[in-house]
Amino acid sequence: MRAVTTRPTIRATGGLVASGHHLATIAGIESLREGGSAIDAAVAAAAVCAVVLPHRTSIGGDLFALVYDARTRRVTAYNGSGAAARRLDVGSFRAGFPVGGARTATVPGVVAAWGDLMEDGGRLGLERALRAAIHYAADGFLVSDVLADDIAAHSDALGADAGCVAVFRPRGRDLGAGEVVVQPDLAGSLREIARQGASAFYRGPLAERLAEGIARLGGDIDGDDLAAHATERREPLSVAYRGLRVFGQPPVSQGHVLLEELAIAAGWDFAAMPWGGADLVHEMVEIKKLAFADRDAYAGDPRAVPFSADDLLAPAFIEARRAALPDRASDRAAAGAMAAATPADTTYLAVVDGDGNAVSLIESVFTAFGAVAIVPGTGILLNSRLTGFSLDAGSPNALAPGKRPVHTLNAVMALDGATTTPRLVFGTPGRQAQVQTNFQLAVALIDHGQGVQEAIDQPRWYHEQGRELRMEARYPEDVRRALAERGHEVRVLPDWAEITGGAQAIVIEPGGALAGGADPRREGLAAGY
């Protein structure tokens, strides 16, 4: 019997885009129809997101992507995250991180990553990829209900920054749903990037204005920091799971957390456990706790600390972690011993083109409206990623000049283990929820064979710390009661809780059809042709 879902599953053969905003999805589809590759479509969609989802992403933010090249049958991981300013005074943060402001930003990596993606696999050029984004910045777009709610919720912070006032409170009040957002300065910056290339963001007149503007806002990032930035292209991490090879982002992304979860889960027959039942939820929550404990104990910027995610995925380590799973809810999981050695403001998109190329991409400003600071004369909204560091000097993720913080951002892709062709492309925003929701999606899609929209629609759980387990109200009462009997302190979330993310996913079905879905918890859209 076909599952009843909130939206129809979208099927296509020419290409499919699933993104966090309908205008971005349309831009991606238009790019594919003009002969663009999955990368052309992904960059076009991501650029529109950076204009129409300012509460989630910006050209002043970060980006991570996994890209499958159908010709070489290889997956490449792109790390478009930046470092803390090299002249940063760590001592000035002894009292804690400020709430917003240019000092909370790290070097933006989005634009460099767009340029590198286009250089490696684009067909139409960066100017074409940015066309729709420039249009929506210059001529405006209509405020959605979600954006209107976020503007109202952050009204005081937005009102404290002149650039944010000009964009989001242009008539002395918060913009509401259905009103037009116009960003002429951002359109100018995007035009400069389109004409001169991504390097214009990091060197030259735009970079100079950016550095000068950050200084006027009291930030630490300067021209040398911008000029030193570069995208990392790396081999992705991967694990075998139920006949698939699941790929994740290497550090500084926390993609290794999902892969550790799956590696531990591979020792259980999850398909034999009823979907949504207390036994399956308990095992998955406790696996999550182990993987997060290992992340917190070991993960940091590999350029600054001796951290190798491969150690967390080693068979002996995984076997020891599997043996550590408790029968009852644990209060605090301990990190594994190794041999020597809040709703998030992010957006995710997936693209597969007619040639079989695939992109799994996520970009972010970290918190709502990032630093809540628009650099004067540029329209560039800065990220707040510096606050992702730890102020504990003993942490591998401790704040330091020139170092990158550990990122919640991660994207997922799974290939058929025998044919090395893509089968799943998925991800979600949601900060700490990302690798939890991705874990739930993976088990629903792979172990339980659910359809793509069905898996996205399923009720979700979310764990942050201790024995408290938050569960969407659509979980049956008997399941919640059974989990409480096993020691979980169950807290009921709304039926569709945004804190659990806003997933997009594409499944390549056995016959070759592309099937896409988008999360009703946010405002995404899947479309194809």
Q: What is the pLDDT of residues 253-276, one digit of tens each?
A: 888 999 999 999 999 999 999 999
Give the chain's mean pLDDT: 94
At residue 1, the pLDDT reads 61
SS (H, E, C) 414-474: EEECCCCCEEEEEECCCHHHHHHHHHHHHHHHHHCCCCHHHHHHCCCEEECCCCEEEEECC
Strands (E), 207-357: 232-234, 237-241, 244-248, 345-353
At residue 336, the pLDDT reads 59
Q: Which residue has the higher pLDDT, 200 or 251?
A: 200
**Among residues 124, 127, 145, 123, which one has the least CA distance to residue 135?**
127
**Among residues 309, 397, 350, which one has the least CA distance to residue 514?**
350
> What is the b/e burial string over 73-88, where b = at least 16 CB atoms within 10 angstroms of the residue's CB?
eebbbbbbbbbbbbeb
Distance from C-alpha of 389 to C-alpha of 97, rounded to nearest angstrom: 10
| Residue 490 C-alpha from the chain's centroid | 27
Radius of gyration, CA atoms only, the chain = 22
- What does the block give as tokens for 129? 């990829």
Distance from C-alpha of 467 to C-alpha of 283, rounded to nearest angstrom: 13
> At residue 266, what are phi and psi to the nearest 5 degrees?
-60, -20
Say whether pLDDT at 337 is over 60: no
At residue 311, the pLDDT reads 86
Q: Which residue has the higher pLDDT, 244 or 4?
A: 244
Residues ≥6 apart with Cβ < 8 Å to 235: 76, 77, 250
Mean pLDDT is lowest, of 179-183, 405-409, 487-491, for: 405-409
Residues ≥6 apart with Cβ < 8 Å to 342: 431, 432, 499
The residue to which tokens 């068979």 are assigned: 315
Within 229-275, residue ranges assigned H as helices are 255-265
At residue 499, the pLDDT reads 93
Q: Which residues are catalytic?
A: 346
Q: Is 168 helix (H, G, I), strand (E, B) or coil?
A: helix
User: Among positive and negative, which fits the CA dihedral 481, 487, 489, 493?
Assistant: negative
> What is the b/e burial string over 329-368, where b = at least 16 CB atoms within 10 angstroms of the residue's CB?
bbeebeebebeeeebbbbbbbbbbbbebbbbbbbbbbbbb
The residue to which tokens 């002149």 are assigned: 162
- What does the block give as tokens for 446? 């792979």
List, for residues 55-101, the tens digit of each pLDDT value: 999 999 999 999 999 999 999 999 999 999 999 999 999 999 999 99
Mean pLDDT is lowest, of 6-10, 139-143, 296-300, for: 296-300
At residue 400, the pLDDT reads 95
Distance from C-alpha of 357 to C-alpha of 120, rounded to nearest angstrom: 12
| Residue 30 C-alpha from the chain's centroid | 23
Farthest CA pair distance, the chain: 63
Whether the pTM exceeds 0.75: the reply is yes
**Mean per-residue pLDDT, 396-405:** 94
List, for residues 118-134, the tens digit of each pLDDT value: 999 999 999 999 999 99
- DSSP run (H or E) holding 118: helix 110-121
Beta-carbon-side half-sphere exposure of residue 330 (alpha carbons within 13 Å)? 18
**Among residues 343, 345, 390, 349, which one has the least CA distance to residue 365?**
345
Say whether pLDDT at 305 is over 90: no
299 pLDDT band, cuts 50/70/90, is confident
- What does the block give as tokens for 224? 């040398």
Distance from C-alpha of 364 to C-alpha of 112, rounded to nearest angstrom: 14
List, for residues 402-460, the tens digit of each pLDDT value: 999 988 888 999 999 888 999 999 999 987 889 899 999 999 999 999 999 999 999 99
338 pLDDT band, cuts 50/70/90, is very low
Say whether pLDDT at 342 is over 60: no
At residue 339, the pLDDT reads 41
Say whether pLDDT at 335 is over 80: no
Compute how many other C-beta atoms are within 10 angstroms of the C-beta atom of residue 72.
Answer: 9
**Among residues 491, 424, 506, which one has the least CA distance to residue 461?**
491
**Mean per-residue pLDDT, 273-291:** 96
Amino acid at 382: L
Say whether pLDDT at 343 is over 50: no
At residue 309, the pLDDT reads 86
**Among residues 65, 462, 428, which one has the least CA distance to residue 248?**
65
Say whether pLDDT at 102 is over 50: yes
Distance from C-alpha of 446 to C-alpha of 508, rounded to nearest angstrom: 12
**Mean per-residue pLDDT, 352-357:** 97
Q: Is 281 helix (H, G, I), strand (E, B) or coil?
A: helix
